[in-house]
Amino acid sequence: METYESKILSLVEKNKNIVVITAENRISLRNIPPKLGANFIDVGISEQNLVGIGAGLAKQGFLPVMHGMSAFLTMRAFEFIRTDLGYPSLPSVLVGTFNGLSAAGNGTANGPTHQAIEDIALMRLVPNMTIFAPSDVTETCSGLDYITKLEGPLYIRDSNFGTIDIKREKFIWGKNECIVQGNNIAILSYGTILSICLEVSKKLSMQNTSHSVYNMRFLKPMDEQTLDHVFQNHKIIFVIEDHVNIGGLCSIVKEYAWENKKSQEIILINLKEHFFKPANFVVALDHAGFSADKIYEQIMMSMKGSNR
Amino acid sequence: MIKKFDNDAEFQEFVLHCKKNVAKMATNGGCFIGSAFSCMDILAYLYCNFFDTKKIKNNEKDRDLFVLSKGHAVAGLYGVLAELDIFPKKRLDNYLSVDDDLYWHPNASIPGIEFHSGSMGHGLSIGIGMAFASKIRNSNNHVVVLLGDGELNEGSIWESMLIASAYKLDNLIAIVDRNFHQANVKTEELIQLEPLDHKLSSFGWKTFSCNGHNFNEINEVFSEIKDDNSNKPKVIIANTLRGKGISYMEGNPQYWFANLEKEKVNQLIQELNSLQYNKK
């Protein structure tokens, strides 16, 4: 199986302009630093410099792939990202780990200091930024194939190091995918929560409730074609994300609906304005209302309350 | 034209020409003239005597790289770049016009500007990235970053100091424009930086100092740096005066920035002319 490490290593072997940088965040880079040689720089725990140094390298024609924990990368270094990568639109990659309800590394045990639950909102604010939130490592690796073609910065919300065992559409850069095709209700999600939504999907299928599940991995620029499809074919749209209510996929869908004068019912399941209760992943997920059972319950309750 | 000086008198004459370019930007919107005049000699020296300016002019890949981290002093840099015809002097007429990119902070679309700046505490990390790039490419160019002393309040600068030292970036030179002033107050009356040389040395940088307005001292420091084999990043504390050369501006906190009446600018240019005349 291809891993993040093996993918990065093969990319650097093919393209010596790629420089892997980290702010001493090595969760996805444990074994490769010695193999990367001069193409690896660990700047220590200093996210602002991680991005500033990446910008200096990018300006000189290198492609920096910068690693940090999403909370510190997107918040501590926000101004550097906005001013030094976004404004000049420098081709560059920011890889954030431990975001939302992070299954990877049992990140939910960290507590509020480490919770990246506003990262999508922040990165959406950065001009020229692309946002990619893959749901498993296969998808992450497929996306990494495109980094040498970037025309500006890319934020990867790298949340899940496992793989989801499903049949998928061929990966197309910038394109979101419909994983389950039905009608009446649509479920839109990304990242860690997508796999939970697929469990919910099984429960809905058992009840013969027709529905679709969309993987909204590309959040900026938004793949409007997929949203057109969602709104053309469904009456109730559930948007489910491990992110605060402001600025993430929930906001994106509301903005789309307003701009396109859509009147479908949109139901939002997100973290509202709450830090979630820290615990082991499965417990934290359930407590925050994102276990398959809890999401299923919410969908069924909403369906009862809906007149559509 | 590319110039190289071997004596103070001719160098000072050149700097006066550069300062006259700056004076013209000190009206109709104004510029950070005090900050510009503080580092004007250093900037002029870099482009005349230290950098391979021909490569900069031709935008060659292995050219020396300069980052003005104290971006608000850009009028000083533009004064030098225009005087050396790195961009046409006529272009300064576009200052603060929406038809060009000449404003209070550097923009990378202007020839000679490697990276935009303005927000304090970014430039040294950008310079480190450039120094890494040169190391990976085995390029022998220099990367020079000019910092304000007030800018040293920013924590990111000290992160950069640690990183450059840890990676032995001996192709990186930082210059601190040590005029003892920050925006509104004197540095030592707010967040004390002294003993600055000890602080910088203890962060692992080879530390030099000079009178930042004296050609011979600046020249001497850069000769030492060229001969240095210490594998350390270098830092020069350039002791300077805010508003250097203009009697009423020197060390005057009010002249960090100035937006002068046209008549005042003419007086300023006359003062600079008289300095030139006196030198002759």
Choose between A163 and B104: higher pLDDT. B104
Name residues whose C-beta falls within 8 Å of residue A307's C-beta, 6 or more positions apart in sequence: none
Chain B, nearest residue to A38 by Cα = B136
Mean pLDDT for the stretch of residues A10-37: 96
Calculate how close chain A gets to B229, using CA atoms only, in Å. 21
- A23 and B CB contact within 8 Å: no
Helix (H) or strand (E) holding B81: helix B74-83
Please tell me the distance from the alpha carbon of residue A268 to that of residue A283, in angstroms, as a whole number.
22
Inspect the interface and report whether the beta carbons of A56 and B131 lie closer than 8 Å: yes
3-state secondary structure at position A93: strand
Helix axes B215-227, B8-23, angle to 10 degrees: 110
Please, which residues have CB within 8 angstroms of residue B143's CB and are 6 or more apart in sequence? B64, B65, B66, B67, B127, B130, B131, B134, B171, B172, B173
Distance to chain A for B153, nearest Cα, Å = 15
| Residue among A56, A79, A87 whose CB faces B127 most closely | A56
Confidence of residue A304 (pLDDT cuts 50, 70, 90): confident
The alpha-carbon gap from B183 to the nearest alpha carbon of chain A, in Å, equals 21
- Whether the predicted pLDDT of B1 surpasses 70: no
Q: Flag whether pLDDT at A308 surpasses 70.
A: no
Q: Residue ranges of the domains in chain B?
A: 8-244+258-279
Mean pLDDT, residues B191-209 taken together: 98
Q: Helix (H, G, I), strand (E, B), or coil: what is residue A175?
A: coil
- Is the ipTM above a cut-off of 0.90? yes
Contacts 24+ apart (CB under 8 A), A262-266: A262/A231, A264/A231, A264/A234, A264/A235, A264/A236, A264/A237, A265/A235, A265/A236, A265/A237, A265/A306, A265/A308, A266/A237, A266/A239
Q: What pLDDT is stored for residue B253 in this prediction?
A: 84
User: What is the pTM for the complete model shown?
Assistant: 0.96
pLDDT tens digits along B203-215: 999 999 999 999 9
The helix (H) or strand (E) run that includes residue B31 is none
Interface probe with A: pick from B105, B125, B138, B147, most Cβ of A within 10 Å: B125
| B132 contacts A56? CB cut-off 8 A | yes
How large is the average pLDDT for residues B39-45?
Answer: 98
Beta-carbon separation of B129 and A52 below 8 A = yes
Do residues B30 and B23 lie in contact, with contact meaning Cβ atoms separated by under 8 Å?
no
Taking only Cα atoms into account, the Rg of chain A, rounded to an integer number of angstroms, comes to 19
Q: Verify whether the Cβ–Cβ distance B126 to A56 is below 8 Å.
A: yes
Q: Does B51 touch chain A if contact means CB atoms closer than 8 Å?
A: no
Closest partner CB to B159 (pick from A46, A58, A84):
A46
Nearest in space to B174 (alpha carbons), one of B137, B133, B204, B194 = B204
Read off the pLDDT of residues B145-187 as tens digits, 9 standing for 90 and up.
Answer: 999 999 999 999 999 999 999 999 999 999 999 999 999 899 9
Closest to A71 in 3D by CA, of A28, A134, A124, A115? A115
When the pLDDT of each residue in chain B is averaged and rounded to a whole number, the result is 95
Angle between helix axes A47-59 and B123-136 (nearest 10 degrees) is: 50
Tell whether the model's pLDDT for residue A50 goes beyond 70.
yes
Confidence of residue B279 (pLDDT cuts 50, 70, 90): low
The confidence band for B9, taking pLDDT boundaries of 50, 70 and 90, is very high
Average pLDDT, chain A: 96
Give tens-digit pLDDT for A234-286: 999 999 999 999 999 999 999 999 999 999 999 999 999 999 999 999 999 99
Q: What pLDDT score does B277 carry?
A: 58
Chain A: residue whose CA lies nearest to B135: A38
User: Between B132, B159, B167, which is nearest A57 by CB?
Assistant: B132
Distance from CA of A50 to the nearest CA of B (A): 8
Give all domains of chain A, ordered by start, each with its CATH number.
4-157 (3.40.50.970), 177-305 (3.40.50.920)
pLDDT at B231: 96
pLDDT in tens, A146-194: 999 999 999 999 987 788 988 888 999 999 999 999 999 999 999 999 9
Exposed e or buried b per residue across A264-284, where buried means at least 16 C-beta atoms within 10 angstroms of its C-beta? bebbbbbbeeeebebbebeeb
How far does A44 lie from chain B, in Å, by closest CA? Answer: 8
B192 has pLDDT over 60: yes
B 111-130: CB under 8 A from A = 114-116, 119, 121-122, 124-130
Tell me the average pLDDT across B33-42.
Answer: 97
Q: Closest Cα to residue B169, out of A73, A56, A45, A68?
A: A56
Nearest chain A CA: its distance from B202 CA (Å):
18
Per-residue model confidence as pLDDT tens digits over A195-244: 999 999 999 999 999 999 999 999 999 999 999 999 999 999 999 999 99
Residues in A closer than 8 angstroms to B133, CB to CB, are 56-57, 60-62
Res B280 pLDDT > 80: no
Say if CB A19 and CB A63 are below 8 A apart. yes
Pick the CATH number of B8-244+258-279 from 3.40.50.970, 1.10.150.120, 3.40.120.10, 3.40.50.2000: 3.40.50.970
Over range B249-278, report the average pLDDT.
89
| CB contacts, 8 Å: A83 with chain B | 116, 119, 122
